[in-house]
Amino acid sequence: MATPDDPGPPRGPDGPGPHEGEGPPPGQGPFPGQGPYGGQPPYGQGPYGGPEPYGQQPYGGALPPPPPGAYGGPQRPGGGLGTAALVLGICALVLLLVCGVGTVVAVVGLVIGIVAIAKNSNRRRAVAGVVLSALTLVLGVIFAVVVYNWYQSRNLGECFDPARFPDQAAVQRCLESHLGTE
Residue 140 has pLDDT above 90, yes or no: yes
Q: How confident is the model at residue 156 (pLDDT cuts 50, 70, 90)?
A: confident
Residue range 9-18, pLDDT digits in tens: 666 566 555 5
Given a contact cutoff of 8 angstroms between Cβ atoms, the answer to whether 137 and 96 are in contact is no
Residue range 97-113, pLDDT digits in tens: 888 889 999 999 999 99
Given a contact cutoff of 8 angstroms between Cβ atoms, the answer to whether 89 and 133 are in contact is yes
Helix, strand or coil, per DSSP, at residue 12: strand
Q: pTM score, two decimals?
A: 0.53
Given a contact cutoff of 8 angstroms between Cβ atoms, the answer to whether 121 and 79 are in contact is yes
Q: Rounded CA gap, 79 and 122, in Å?
A: 5
